[in-house]
Structure 1
Amino acid sequence: MPLAIRLSPAGRPARLFTACTGALLIAGLTAGSPAAAADSVSYDFESPSQKLPFMAINGFGRVLVGPAPGGRPGQAARVNIPNDGRSFKSELVIKGLDAGSHRFGFANYLPGDWQERDLDTIVAQWFSTQDDGGGIKPVVALSVHGGNWQLKVHWMSNGEIQESVIPLGAARPGHWNRWTFDITWSSAGKPGSIRVTRDGVTVGSHQGANNYHRGEPPHFRIGAYRPNWRPEKGPEKRVGASEAVLFIDDIAITSTTAGSGPDVRATTPGGAASPSASPAPSTGPTPTGSPSTSPTARAGEAPAGGDTAPGETAHEVRTDATARGGAGRIGVVGSAVVGAAALAGGAFVLLRRRHAKGSTRSAHRRART
């Protein structure tokens, strides 16, 4: 209906220019809005103006943002699980990823007083939600066990969960590790792949089935999780153990082309690990290194549980940055704003010309009379 309103020659340009300016602002704000389920996300923990993913905890664990340790500049997230007989998990949860190929990058740091235990502390896991909501092991999990890093990969065969354990080299407390995981998820008829680098060096890989091929695509969890600290495991697993404390920083998840990987150098002598060359994809899982493969998990390890295990709550961390594909959105915003500005400017110039012509004709009519 606004188009049906008759305006005087003097009022029409201002009114239409205002409408074009409003369109410009709407275009800019719409283009700048993040997608509901962005497939490329990053978190650098530097800005207090944007929020982080939800934190899933069991018990009284926490994720707090503060100065990064170990001489690293800027901020980092401090994750802890207290040894209180109840707590066993404190993680950031990132969902909304598809079932294709992604590169997962992040940095983590074990304090210099990290206590070696012959039990797993999972620091990153990829978890597949199940149709029945039942508890099941993560499809991929990075953990520190004793004094070493290891990767566990799970898949289903004949109704049984299979497990491959891939050694990734010695853990170095007091050192920031930069991890990259290039993952292509397998499907029922197509093998997948995993390649792991640490500090720019390839330390492990896996070819073949790498998930359960049911339910939603695996989502990403990062933080700290001690399966053997679950209350049902009994207090003996906690005796003599200190709280679990570690730091994480620079999380970046990018959608990639299947089979692509980072530019990395070969493992140097005396490095974290000396894996063999990655074999060609096959239907049967083939990890590098010297993994053990068994139809069941190690004794004493409990399933990771569903998205919300008993006692687990989700908390929103409000003190840090979220950058969801920022560079791409900036380009979209810029293009939308420039286009809208050109439209507004053109409309204004055109209307000014029409107004000038109308004023000239009115002057001529007044002169004749």
Structure 2
Amino acid sequence: MHFAKPPSHAGHPARLLTSCATALLVLGVAAASPAAAADSVSYDFESPSQKLPFMAINGAGRVLVGPAPGGRSGQAARVNIPNDGHSFKSELVIKGLDAGSHRFSFANYLPGDWQEQDFDTIVAQWFSTQDDTLRIKPVVALSIHSADWQLKIHWMSGGEIQEKIIPLGAARLGHWNQWTFDITWSSPTTPGSIAVARDGVNVGSHQGANNYHRGQPPHFRIGAYRPGWRPEKGPTQRGGASEAVLFIDDIAITSTAAGSAPNPLPTTTGGAASPSRPPVLSSSTSAASPSASPSTKASAAPTSGAPAATADAAPGAPRETRTENGSSLSSTGPTGVIGIAAASAAALACGAFLLFRRRTGPQGAHRR
């Protein structure tokens, strides 16, 4: 007497292969898709296909991408504001950030012919859009005033805007500065914090209120903004000043856990980073290693959101970013994830097929 022959599974391996491949490809595409909010994004200006932030420009200013100056390899964004009587701002705008904690890192460069002026040129600011006014001050602003870097922090108390100015040391012309800002936004009941590092050395910090606690969470703007050049303020601050030109590169924003602090960096006295002291960045930072040559681009950056592109752009013809239209940033994820998912799907499906064949192969004759 023989046992009944097991039912045929013909066609099951093919269906199994198709199901596994389809499921894993779907997972791969999902992994490659960016999050809705731009809480972890990066821009290195290397690839023409990389989506760039929107621009906020008043007047005839420009933001163009071209060869990086100062011995730095690859591409960078050149920002300029002409002294024409009505231009005063050329900035890239990154919206969609939440009100939690983030690390902001970027590099900027002041050319050797930069003119010192007795007014602020804001090169990075965190701005909280308000419903009741269009002229409210940024909650946090990094600027160069005369020959020095400084940080201004604003918050509301008793219905009035409060201001704190933190000196960050002397500016060096013809030098790429690597900035890192670790910011936790305050709430009406919880204090916030700001830690600032330049070239891997802590140069300033703040604990307490650091925004207005109303309206939208602060968004990030980087480029050049001269409040004193607004047309309504007249020509008093324009005399003798040529156009403002600077360069920015390797912007990276990483969402961090609220209350967590990155590894501490060395701190110098007087709020100035020592050029002769070799800077050291913690391993958790997304900025470029300061020990690298100035001609080396940053290699570590978040890949969620807008991906850091490879250096495949010709170093010639500058390209211009898109203009701001009030929409939040939308980016596509790296296609490499999809390729990895496809390869993984094929490998796992083949493994499943072989296991299936092993379990359902020839059974042989069974005796009584």
Sort the TM-score into its range (normalised by shorter chain): 0.7 to 0.9
Structure 1 portions without partners, runs of 5+: 1-7, 274-312, 317-321, 361-369
Q: Report the Cα offset of residue 23 of structure 1.
A: 3.8
Q: Residues 70 and 339 of structure 1: is their aligned pair in 2 closer, same or farther, counting only changes over 3 Å?
A: closer
Aligned twin of 1:65: 65
Structure 2 portions without partners, runs of 5+: 1-7, 275-322
Aligned twin of 1:92: 92
Is 1:345 aligned to 2:350, yes or no? yes
Aligned twin of 2:294: none
Aligned twin of 1:314: 324
SS at 2:196 equivalent? strand
**Quick one: distance in 2 between partners of 1:230 and 1:34?**
37
Map 1:46-65 → 2, pairs under 5 A: 46-65=46-65
> Do the aligned partners of 1:42 and 1:323 also contact (CA within 8 Å) in 2?
no
SS at 2:228 equivalent? helix
Higher helix share: 1
The one-letter code matched in structure 2 to 1:124 is: A
Root-mean-square deviation (Å): 3.4
The one-letter code matched in structure 1 to 2:349 is: A
Deviates more, 1:251-260 or 1:174-183: 251-260
Q: Deviations over 1:230-252 (max 9, x none)?
A: 11112332222111100011111
**Quick one: distance in 1 between partners of 2:361 and 2:201?**
70
Deviates more, 1:75-84 or 1:155-164: 75-84
**Quick one: distance in 1 between partners of 2:194 and 2:148?**
19
The one-letter code matched in structure 2 to 1:344 is: A
Map 1:73-222 → 2, pairs under 5 A: 73-132=73-132, 134-222=134-222
The one-letter code matched in structure 2 to 1:156 is: M
The one-letter code matched in structure 1 to 2:265 is: V
> Do the aligned partners of 1:94 and 1:219 also contact (CA within 8 Å) in 2?
yes
> Do the aligned partners of 1:55 and 1:92 also contact (CA within 8 Å) in 2?
yes
Aligned twin of 1:261: 262
> Do the aligned partners of 2:186 and 2:209 also contact (CA within 8 Å) in 1?
yes
Q: Residues 241 and 269 of structure 1: is their aligned pair in 2 closer, same or farther, counting only changes over 3 Å?
A: closer
**Quick one: distance in 1 between partners of 2:68 and 2:44?**
11
**Quick one: distance in 2 between partners of 1:73 and 1:154?**
37
Is 1:229 aligned to 2:235, yes or no? no
Q: Residues 84 and 156 of structure 1: is their aligned pair in 2 closer, same or farther, counting only changes over 3 Å?
A: same
Q: Report the Cα offset of residue 30 of structure 1.
A: 2.4
Aligned twin of 1:282: none
Please report the TM-score for the alignment, with normalisation by the length of structure 2.
0.73
**Quick one: distance in 2 between partners of 1:332 and 1:204?**
42
Aligned twin of 1:35: 35
**Quick one: distance in 2 between partners of 1:175 and 1:103?**
22
Q: Percent identity?
A: 75
Aligned twin of 2:300: none
Q: Report the Cα offset of residue 340 of structure 1.
A: 3.5
Deviates more, 1:122-131 or 1:258-267: 258-267
Q: Residues 250 and 190 of structure 1: is their aligned pair in 2 closer, same or farther, counting only changes over 3 Å?
A: same
Q: Deviations over 1:306-336 (max 9, x none)?
A: xxxxxxx5179xxxxx897x7xx978985x5
**Quick one: distance in 1 between partners of 2:358 and 2:43?**
50
> Do the aligned partners of 2:83 and 2:243 also contact (CA within 8 Å) in 1?
yes
Q: Report the Cα offset of residue 112 of structure 1.
A: 0.4
Please report the TM-score for the alignment, with normalisation by the length of structure 1.
0.73
> Do the aligned partners of 2:168 and 2:272 also contact (CA within 8 Å) in 1?
no
SS at 1:247 equivalent? strand
The one-letter code matched in structure 1 to 2:266 is: R
Aligned twin of 1:300: none
**Quick one: distance in 2 between partners of 1:355 and 1:154?**
72
Aligned twin of 1:294: none
Map 1:344-363 → 2, pairs under 5 A: 344-346=349-351, 348-349=353-354
Q: Residues 207 and 11 of structure 1: is their aligned pair in 2 closer, same or farther, counting only changes over 3 Å?
A: closer
Larger radius of gyration: 1
SS at 1:314 equivalent? coil
The one-letter code matched in structure 2 to 1:59 is: G
Aligned twin of 1:251: 251
The one-letter code matched in structure 1 to 2:158 is: N
Q: How many residues align?
A: 306
**Quick one: distance in 2 between partners of 1:338 and 1:194?**
44
The one-letter code matched in structure 2 to 1:261 is: P
**Quick one: distance in 2 between partners of 1:332 and 1:62?**
36
